[in-house]
Chain A
Amino acid sequence: MASKPIVRVENLSVLLEGGGEPRPVLADISFDVAPRSVLGIIGESGSGKTVLSNALVNWIKLPLRVTSGQVLYQGRNLLGLPEHEMAKLRGREIAYIGANPTIALDPTIPVGHQIVEKLREVEPGISREAARKRVIDTLDAVRIPSAARRFDEYPFQFSGGMMQRAMIVDALVSNPKLLIADNITQPLDVTVAAQIIRLLRDLQSDFETSIVFISSALGVVSDIADDVIVINAGRIVERQTAARITSAPEHAYTRDLIAKVPRLWAAAETPEPTLLDDMMLEVRDVERTYVVPNHTKLFGENHVRAVRGVTFDVRRGESFGLIGESGCGKSTLSRLLSSIEQPDKGTIKVEGRDIAGLKGKPLLDMRRRFQLLLQDPYNAVPAHASVGRTIEEPLRIHGLASGAALKARVRDVMAEVGLSPDLYESLPVGLSAGQRQRINIARALILEPSLMILDETLSALDQVEQARLLALFEVLQRRHGITYLYISHDLTMVRRVCARIGVMYLGRIVELADNQTIFETPAHPYTRTLLSSILTVEPKPFRPETYLLEGEPPDPIHIPTGCSFRTRCPFAFDRCATDDPELAADADGNGAACHLAPGQMPPPTILPATTGPLAAPNA
């Protein structure tokens, strides 16, 4: 690199003060950012990477304090600049995009107008018409459909992915020399995140901006960056080119980090398939539509078809997974399965009994057979009741025990899920997310259910905690013979744990198969796209370039005719517009709702399938 770096950080140290002992957050950080390049910064949560990103725009506020070091931008120390000088750089030559796009703008003013406002702030000479035109053109460039109409829409009308694109427009519209992207893909769905990253790469070369890309996911960073820095506990531990960081890491921490990323294909852990035939859960043709007001017409209504005919079986003792991205209908399905809402059509049978029409006492009795575990550990456990009281409650409601026997049972369950008996009288306020989920599990387990529905139960936990709880689930399954239904968007977890998997899209199951088939020889283009978007360090059998999705899923109010996936499918042909494909199961119980014959999609690039429909022909 012959040219001067655009940013040079020298010996930066930041301290966290207030409320006790001062704690160092960053210690002696030094690095360069070359012009027109992408620098990736990887760190786990708590490593200090967000504080570093704030330092790069000189936004270190109390209780944080810079104790030493400089941030040199084109030779000037940003940390030493007076505020009005710094204000001339922020938003103009140095741009910043954060992790929460949906709350980044004023909710009461249209998105486009706010970007114009920013543009006219940083370029005072520009006229209103010229600003408007430039913003709409840039919105178009980031592939926001109907850019001119979207210009006048409000933040709440934008999805997460769209909003992040709008924030990218906001950042790039002033032609910055440096762009800092802090964790920008974390809240997004996998396929949407993949699109954003590809977009950013393209824009970077068009606009000649340098990017500092911060993330906790190794897969993301190695995809987009030229050079990579690894941060641990406020210090830089390794600096490498992106190409070499995964193949030849030098520092032990980096090696650890790489090892912790779960492997999906090479040397993957997969569960054993079940042998029992006893049906635990039978779902047939379940449908649910919501009616919401339509404000564009007088007294108008819209029909949101959240679930459009879902059919699957779960056998006793099995772990079944339902995966899909936001808007696929899995949350509605989980509400239907746990009987909080009734389906409009179809049947749901638990151990042979149809729960779809049950109310009152029969429903209460059935509730002992199956339980639901929810995602949010902070809101799922009431804050005002002690741990023991919360776990006692199911027994009290069903009148199953009282007095000393009640307390004894609660203590037993607490021990079984790994909660210390001392916590019986404590309030949940001080407990970690993992411990709170254990309270949830104990509360569900105490009724001795045969079926447990886990709706994104582990999504809010970090990797370590997830692994521990998955191990707990395994133990409980062996001991009590519980059947699990996992509803999740996390493909890596599902790969590890679920023997059979269903893929949902727009309220339907588009593919249903066993674990190996889904991950190695999937038959539906959407499944392949999902797999191609996963951020991982190993080579993927499905390349993102082949399975490129455009845009976002259609509105469940206006579902395309024929196959609902055809508007985004890279392989759609004319039959897809007229015929809605059925999910037809073959002899193994696997099937995909697609008109394509198995051989019509490009074969996976690494794994030579020796059996099954995609076996490479001998020639």
Chain B
Amino acid sequence: MTDIALSARPRNRSVAQRILAGAWTSTEMKVAVFIFAALAVLTVVAPFIIDASATKITVADRFLPPIFMEGGRYPYFLGTDQLGRDLLLRSLIGLRNAFAIGIVSVVIMFVIGCAIGIYSGYRGGWVDVILMRITDVQMSIPVVILAITILGMSRPNPFTVIAVLVLASWPAYARVARSVTLAERQKEYVRAAKILGASDIRIMALHIAPSILPSIAFVAVLDIARMMIFEAIFGFIGIGIQPPTPTFGTIISTGTQYLLNAWWITIVPGFLLALALTSLNLMGGVLERSRNLVLQGQL
């Protein structure tokens, strides 16, 4: 059944712009961005307007429940932990650290993974086979095993944590970039560029990369959230960034001892993390849906 060719709507914007514009039209996107922005602002501004401390031990104010529960007290909006430290501020710092690690690691793995994937897909032959076997090996080691092997042996710091995350996740980007490169390589504009005499590097960097990147950028957004979760898991097991720096993992793990009496110590910070991650994941999901619509020609 031939489709009706709807009259071509005037399209003057690039693929990336159309994906972003399409994503922005949905309410979910606006809600997600709003939540994320609110949390970001709170992270920056809160230490200055809340008169409490994330690190100072105040024995008198221990185990205060959140302000909406009985016994809660201002300015401890979300209560305090076993050492009297304000949970909201601790959570926000943890959020900031987690997000920093998430973003840095994703940017690095995106660049490295895509570069390797494009090169592998374009070159083909032995180079391709070897690089793909390396990704197979890498993907055969579950993240957690790699992490506990490397980080479990020595005192972890932000660099080693980021290194482990990048090492574990770059193959996924390489795979996707490679398969898209294989498809683009057949297209006529690549053939035309070759006939004009363009070198391979030129074609890869100026023609293939810009065609691929908008399509898989949403994966990066989703991965920021995924890396933040890994960071929390590492902290929980004890192989993440060590105290006294507040990280979600350590906050949650130390709080489990007091679960029955002061459940908010564990549960409230996790809720804040979940909120931040939901906004990130919603953004990524809407971007993906928008990308699918644009690629099918419906936007």
Contact = CB atoms under 8 A, between A and B. Distances in A.
A/B contact in complex, CB under 8 angstroms: yes
Nearest to A46: B5
Interface stretch (A138-146, A370-378, A481-489, A496-504): A370-378
Interface stretch (A425-433, A564-572, A576-584, A587-595): A425-433
B199 to A, nearest CB: 8
Contacts of A96: 1
Interface residues of A, number: 48
A372 B2 contact: no
B289 interface: no
Interface in A2-60: 16, 18-19, 23, 25, 46, 50-51, 54, 59
B210 interface: yes
Contacts of B194: 340
B192 A443 contact: yes
Interface in B158-205: 187-189, 191-199, 202
B195 A183 contact: no
A427 B4 contact: no
B45 interface: no
Interface in A375-397: 375-376, 379-385, 393-394, 397
Given A367-B195, A427-B13, A100 B2 contact: yes
B12 A429 contact: yes
B1 A430 contact: no
A398 interface: yes
Interface string B270-294: 0000000000000000000000000
The binding surface of chain A is classed by DSSP as loop
A384 B14 contact: yes
Contact of B195 (A338, A375, A426): A338
A19 B6 contact: yes
B211 interface: yes
A283 to B, nearest CB: 18
B9 interface: yes
B207 interface: yes
Contact of A427 (B2, B12, B197): B12
A339 B207 CA distance: 20
A426 B12 contact: yes
A99 interface: yes
A371 B192 CA distance: 9
Interface string A76-98: 00000000000000000000101
A380 B188 contact: yes
B16 to A, nearest CB: 8
A19 B9 contact: yes
Interface string A382-418: 1111000000011001100000000000000000000
Nearest to B214: A384
B197 A384 contact: no
A64 interface: yes
A98 B2 CA distance: 7
A379 B11 contact: no
A16 B4 contact: yes
Given A50-B4, A381-B189, A430 B12 contact: yes
Contacts of B8: 430
Given A340-B194, A379-B189, A382-B211, A51 B11 contact: no
Q: Please classify the interface of chain B as helix (H, G, I), strand (E, B), loop, or mixed, using the class held by over half of its residues.
A: loop
Interface string A282-321: 0000000000000000000000000000000000000000
Nearest to A99: B2
Interface in A155-182: 182
Contact of A376 (B13, B188, B193, B202): B188
B15 interface: yes
Nearest to B213: A384
Interface in A543-564: none
A466 to B, nearest CB: 19
Among the interface residues B9, B12, B188, B192, which one has the most CB atoms of the partner chain A within 10 A? B192
A374 B4 contact: no
Interface string B216-231: 0000000000000000
Contacts of B195: 338-340, 367, 371-372
Contacts of A50: 2, 4
A221 to B, nearest CB: 17
Contact of B198 (A374, A384, A397, A430): A397
A54 B187 contact: no
A475 B13 CA distance: 34
B193 A379 contact: no
Contact of B189 (A98, A382, A398, A430): A382
B10 interface: yes
A379 B187 contact: yes
A347 interface: no
A393 B198 contact: yes
A459 to B, nearest CB: 13
A63 interface: yes
A606 interface: no
B197 A364 contact: yes
Nearest to A374: B188
A334 to B, nearest CB: 10
B179 to A, nearest CB: 18
Given A19-B9, A367-B195, A430-B12, A64 B4 contact: yes
28 contacts: A16-B6, A19-B6, A19-B9, A23-B7, A50-B2, A59-B1, A63-B6, A98-B1, A99-B2, A183-B2, A340-B194, A364-B197, A374-B192, A375-B188, A376-B188, A379-B188, A380-B188, A382-B211, A383-B14, A383-B15, A384-B207, A384-B210, A385-B206, A393-B193, A394-B197, A426-B12, A429-B14, A430-B12
Given A50-B4, A379-B188, A380-B189, 19 more contacts: A19-B6, A25-B4, A63-B4, A63-B6, A64-B4, A98-B2, A374-B191, A376-B188, A379-B187, A379-B189, A383-B15, A384-B210, A384-B211, A393-B193, A397-B197, A429-B14, A430-B8, A430-B10, A443-B192
Interface of B: 1-2, 4-15, 187-189, 191-199, 202, 206-207, 210-211
Q: Which 10 A-B pairs have the closest CB atoms?
A: A380-B188, A384-B210, A379-B188, A382-B189, A429-B11, A367-B197, A379-B187, A394-B196, A364-B197, A374-B188
